[in-house]
Amino acid sequence: MAKAIIIGASSGIGRALAQVFAEQGYEVGLVARRFELLKELQQQLPTKSFIKQIDITHTSAAIAQLQSLIQEMTDVDVCVINSGIWLNNPECDWDKDRKTIEVNVVGFSAMANVALNYFLTKGHGHLVGISSVSACRGENYTPAYSASKAFVSNYLEGIRHRMAQENKKIFITDIQPGWVDTNMAKGQETFWMASARNAAVEIYSAIHKKRPHAYITSRWRLYAWLLKISPKWFYDRFL
């Protein structure tokens, strides 16, 4: 039976994605800070599951705990790193920026490092990172968030480039969602909102097809294209 780990599985996209993987017959490893939510989710899944309470900002402990989970599951085929925070920060509060960097950059890369080294030892595997359409350009009131997601996308691209050059059977997928109906999006002016369930189904499809990159939902490809080609004056005034 195929096995997947979802880091950041207690709510939102991660929770929905764990459900989709289980529906497809995967045994799943559920990782998050909120243990009670993981226990609740575990009881709802149709396949065997494992839970591990991990705070990815405590990197030394988190690395050891993820390694322990992999050993407990005995084999892992897919690792999805979904953990991330979004903090509106118009006041340029350093504490908010620091928290964003600790989770989205430091915590992410620590977990990616564990997964990649495991897959290299195993000889094959699939690493998935949940980035954001925000990675395309710096954002006005959330500069640390957009910068952190650019880090995620570029980190994954760097790994993918290395795996291709070394002819490794390790697949890397960069998922860039737009607005998804989760707690992160509450109170924001949004458009093209997808449910967590629909987003998870599309993410699973991209993983199953071993796509290197996917916008979620696919219509966000148009918005990302507009962001990338817009000259500075247009971006500053209208986007």
101-123 confidence digits (pLDDT tens): 999 999 999 999 999 999 999 99
pLDDT digits (tens, 9 = 90+) for 135-184: 999 999 999 999 999 999 999 999 999 999 999 999 999 999 999 987 76
N residues, the chain = 239
Q: How does DSSP classify residue 180?
A: B
Q: What is the pLDDT of residue 189?
A: 56
What secondary structure letter does DSSP report for 192? S
pLDDT grade, residue 188 (50/70/90)? low
User: Token pair of 68, please?
Assistant: 């322990």
3-class secondary-structure state, position 47: coil
Count H helices, E strands: the chain? 9, 7
CA-based nearest residue to 108, from 21, 8, 179: 8
CB-neighbour burial class of residue 3 (10 A; exposed 0-12, middle 13-18, buried 19+):
buried
pLDDT for residue 185 = 56
ω before 217 within 30° of 0 (cis)? Answer: yes
b/e code 92-121 from CB counts within 10 Å (16+ = b): eeeebbebbbbbbbbbbbbbbebbbebbee
**What CATH number has the domain bearing residue 57?**
3.40.50.720
Residues 6+ apart with CB under 8 A from 107: 56, 57, 59, 62, 83
Least confident of 72-76, 189-193, 217-221, 230-234: 189-193
The verdict on pTM exceeding 0.85 is yes
Total domains in the chain come to: 1
Task: Give per-residue pLDDT as tens, 10-65.
Answer: 999 999 999 999 999 999 999 999 999 999 999 999 999 999 999 999 999 999 99
Where in the sequence is the domain holding 119, given as residue range(s)?
Answer: 3-238
- Tell me the per-residue pLDDT of 61-103, one tens digit each, with 9 for 90 and over: 999 999 999 999 999 999 999 999 999 999 999 999 999 999 9
pLDDT band at 186 (very low <50, low <70, confident <90, very high): low
When pLDDT is cut at 50, 70 and 90, the band that residue 239 belongs to is confident
